[in-house]
Structure 1
């Protein structure tokens, strides 16, 4: 298997060297590493150029956003598979080997993913962490949205997709968007091919001290949810996935309502609940409605803390970055 690893880079000079080294230290060696510099203003590109390995290639572009950078990397890739890695994350030395095992166990799958772990190291990268030895458990999934409702099985830094499939989907990542553009691609891909999941953590996601707080609650519906709903209603999503697609959208709307309620914004919470009325007879929707209508304002902080503990499984992003 030939893996092209795409790394978008924007002002991550302190971290990108470790990310690239984690790719070059794989037991299954990469075909190439494509670093797309998205108009960095720091010395990140110089770090990339200092790495003396012919497989590492730096591509420069004017600042246009991470989606444009990833799409550029896909267009530049010459391998059979395209794997993604953020410039401040790492691969376990056996990451590509684990994906290779997943492919061998489920050769029909066009998307391969692995679990991941979060780390708070300020600089450098972690030593290889222990994972299951030998052949890891591989789960073949037909309905990725249904599987995602249980727990996020992979992240952007722990996934690979067949290059020929990606080329038929360009622009793969929704350009100009900063929330859900990756999920949009994963689910669209999952509508076209089975997914093989490695149920062990073979990637590490860096969580910086200033990002430990939760993301700011959104005030509008993410575009990828609106597109998913419309594609399901228009029949663009395969028939056997439409029900779970609408269910997924509804549950995400409930999560957005809970985030709004955590800030005391009842009006916004009701707006999201109305948008998610397709799941209105579920216990989760009804409970959120009751809390929105009857919870005293001074309980908002308590509700926010409870929401952070209980709603994680329904967060489309998984753990906050």
Structure 2
């Protein structure tokens, strides 16, 4: 058996922060996966974001002495992560949402990356989506556009690598990183302000922080699917629509607030418009005609293509006629083309 590349005593101390809100039924499985890591975490901090479902009692009964429980008034996942970050004491800090699952080697793979490149600021692993008990294909990193992973410097035999130049332009086009897959240098993350709470509580708020981290290097990538992100079968299309709209709002928000993003202004506006156009097509396929009208009003004129205009026309028809025309339109296959087009930035969670 080969020697351990990162023995426990030589590994960086990794604090784990788990934000949770009313997930008592899922939290135990998440915590068991963290406790069962082949590289023991330095500490596990569970931040209860004002749960009302018995989370506190479950933690006290099952995990006393194993986790540090911190309760805050309900403030959202970003604030909960920052609350955990502020009390963490490790060299590195990892985050895991309370319904996601780490593979046993997640922390060890991250420790190996830092051993190979100690200057790394933040790093993410690949992930798969867990739906109805099954891992869905493809892996998230495999859905990136051609050339996305070009320029990586490989630092270890397992394929782990780092970007040595900022990758903001790549994230504007495609966001493959998810909070439960992230580890960061704790002092660095504190220095840049932690998770960006200025975006409020729209869907996909982690995107703003990913864009912030992407400005700093080395930026690490572990191309193995060491995390399973839960998706619920009933909310897939609605979630993609909301993610695209949330990402568009976040892109515009960070452009207004961060002067460093000025050189990317044109591509940010283009990406925001494209995501809204994709959301419009998804909304039409879901017969959410109120959303079609609302999203169309937010589209810049260059993105009001004939297909979007036609769908807007259908959405303003009286209900009986709208149902007939809309069904005919979908039957002709236009929605199928739109669905293929809409499989870009947020077809899977990526934050």
Provide TM-score, normalisation by structure 1: 0.79
Is the Cα–Cα contact under 8 Å of residues 44 and 67 in structure 2 kept in the other structure? yes
39 and 122 in structure 1: CA distance in 2 versus 1, 3 angstrom threshold = farther
Distance (Å, rounded) in 1 between the aligned partners of 2:21 and 2:158? 34
Structure 1 residue 320, shift from structure 2 partner: 8.2
Shift in alpha-carbon separation, 1:193–1:169, aligned structure 2, 3 A: same
- Partner of 2:250, secondary structure, is helix
Q: State which of 265, 278, 292 in structure 1 corresponds to 2:308.
A: 292
SS at structure 2 position matched to 1:41: coil
1:65-214 mapped onto 2 (5 Å cutoff): 65-121=76-132, 135-141=157-163, 142-148=165-171, 152-170=175-193, 172-174=195-197, 176-214=200-238
Aligned equivalent of 1:128: none
Equivalent residue, structure 1, for 2:29: 18
Q: Which runs of 5+ in 2 are unaligned?
A: 1-11, 136-155, 315-325
- 2:24 and 2:246 mapped to 1: Cα distance? 33
Q: What pairs up with 1:53-72 in 2 under 5 angstroms?
A: 54-72=65-83
- Taking a change above 3 Å as real, the CA distance of residues 203 and 162 of structure 1, as seen in their structure-2 partners, is same
Please list the CA deviations of residues 273-312 of structure 1 after superposition, one character each: whole Å capped at 9, or x if unmatched: 41xx8xx6xxxx6xx7232245674336854444333323
Q: Alignment partner of 2:279: what SS?
A: helix
Q: Which residue of 2 aligns with 1:311?
A: 342
Superposed CA deviations along residues 168-195 of structure 1, whole A, max 9, x for unmatched, are 2335231532323211111112213331
The alpha carbon displacement at 1:41 in A equals 0.8
Residue 256 of structure 2: aligned partner = 230
Deviates more, 1:85-94 or 1:42-51: 42-51
Asked whether the equivalents of residues 89 and 205 of structure 1 are also in contact (C-alpha less than 8 Å), the reply is yes
Q: Give, in whole Å, the separation in 2 of the partners of 1:260 and 1:110.
A: 37
CA-to-aligned-CA distance 1:102-158 (integer Å, 9 cap, x gap): 2234333201100111112469x9xxxxxxxx9421232233334346754331111
Based on CA coordinates, which of the two structures has the bigger radius of gyration? 2
Secondary structure, aligned partner of 1:27: coil
Partner residue in 1 for 2:147: none
The 2-side partners of 1:17 and 1:185 are apart by 27
Contact residue 281 and residue 339 of structure 2 kept, 8 A:
no
Aligned-pair CA distance for 1:200? 1.2
Distance 2:182 2:246 in 1: 28
Cα distance in 2 between the residues matched to 1:254 and 1:116: 25
- Cα distance change on mapping 1:151 and 1:257 into 2, 3 Å: closer
Separation in 2 of the partners of 1:221 and 1:207? 18
The answer to whether residue 59 in structure 2 is matched with residue 33 in structure 1 is no
TM-score under structure 2 length normalisation: 0.73
Distance in structure 1 (CA, Å) of the matches to 2:126 and 2:41: 20
CA-based RMSD = 3.1
